[in-house]
Amino acid sequence: MKYIIILFLFCIQNCFSQEITILSKNDKKPIPFANVIYLKNDSIKGGNYTNENGKILLDLKPEINFLEISCIGFETLKIERKNIQSSIFLEENATHLQEINVSDKKPTTQYLGQSFASRFHCLTQAIGNGYESITLIENPFSAEKEVKSFYFYLEKYDNLLPIFRIVFYKNENNIPTKAYPQNIHENIFTLTEKQKRKIKLDIRKMNVVLPKEGFFVGIECLGMIDSKTKEIVDIQELYKNMTPKKFIMTTGIAYNSSKKQTYSFEKHKFRREKWIDVNSRTKKTPLKFVGNEFLSPTFGIEVYE
């Protein structure tokens, strides 16, 4: 019994469980789905998102000595474990994609990105909390173009409805760099039960413009909502306890039959910091029916000409 008590006291002293709220320093409003990453010095050791009310329950192992808190549209904040407070405020970042004015007339549009006429949408990849997948959309015009819609291909399973946001990254020599914080409060989507496969989202309210150098666009998976209970589900915990293992949600990947170089990247922000080149990864573990083609997530945009 004495040893059990000692072990219990040791766990109390070394484990940290506390609910915190992440808020905007500017208007004191909670920040939904902010990233909270657990660090051992500079190594990522897990993490999760705040909920729709900006809250998260921390459950830190003894090795965790820092939190890194971030969200598109805000400055990243790194906090030492001993300095964690119940309310944490983030500074807003004012950098936006350029905005342009469009006339009241209904101009014609053009689709840019992965062709949905392709029959190669059988390739899929499983995604979970913190997963980002992006691809480069080039600008074939000589000027910036306003974006009307965002397209992607998705499969979902059972009674789970995905929560995600569209993400935009600056293109520098075909490499994604700084994220554009484009109207982040308008940039959280939950699919309905009727939506699946090819999905089109009207994003005109976000005032997105495709710059001359193009940009990287894609999705970040924030979690799932159970359509029956209406509660947010932690995908990692759900998958961990699932037998047999199966995909919970997948986003389509197609390959470019023209053999033109594509620039597509992915990362899991609660596991690693760096982007991984999708095509470099598949060269290490080649898919038999892909051959030497270039892979690309099934993302696209519709712009006004």
Span 264-277, average pLDDT: 86
Report the pLDDT value the prediction gives residue 51, as an integer from 0 to 100.
87
Give the tens place of pLDDT for each residue, 273-288: 789 888 776 555 444 4
**131 and 206 share a domain?**
yes
pLDDT at residue 184 tops 70? no
Name the more confident of 290 and 191.
191
When the pLDDT of each residue in the chain is averaged and rounded to a whole number, the result is: 78
Task: Answer for the pair 152, 297: CB distance below 8 angstroms, yes or no.
Answer: yes
Report the pLDDT value the prediction gives residue 6, as an integer from 0 to 100.
45
**163 and 258 share a domain?**
yes
Looking at the structure of the chain, the number of domains it has is: 2
97 domain residue, yes or no:
no
**pTM of the model as a whole:** 0.80
Pairing of strands 123-126, 189-190: unpaired
Whole-angstrom Cα distance, residue 70 to residue 21?
13
Give the tens place of pLDDT for each residue, 29-78: 999 889 899 999 889 988 888 988 999 988 888 899 999 998 888 889 99
Q: What is the CATH number of the domain that holds 14?
A: 2.60.40.10
Span 130-136, average pLDDT: 89
Alpha-carbon Rg for the chain in angstroms: 21
**236 and 272 share a domain?**
yes
Span 122-141, average pLDDT: 78
**159 and 293 share a domain?**
yes
Q: How confident is the model at residue 237 (pLDDT cuts 50, 70, 90)?
A: low
Neighbouring CB atoms inside 10 A of 291's CB total 10
Task: Answer for the pair 202, 109: CB distance below 8 angstroms, yes or no.
Answer: no
272 domain residue, yes or no:
yes
**81 and 118 share a domain?**
no
Torsion of the alpha carbons at 294, 141, 217 and 299, rounded to the nearest 10: -50
Coil, strand or helix: which one is 37?
strand
Range of the structural domain that residue 43 is part of: 2-90
Report the pLDDT value the prediction gives residue 55, as an integer from 0 to 100.
92
pLDDT at residue 181 tops 90? no
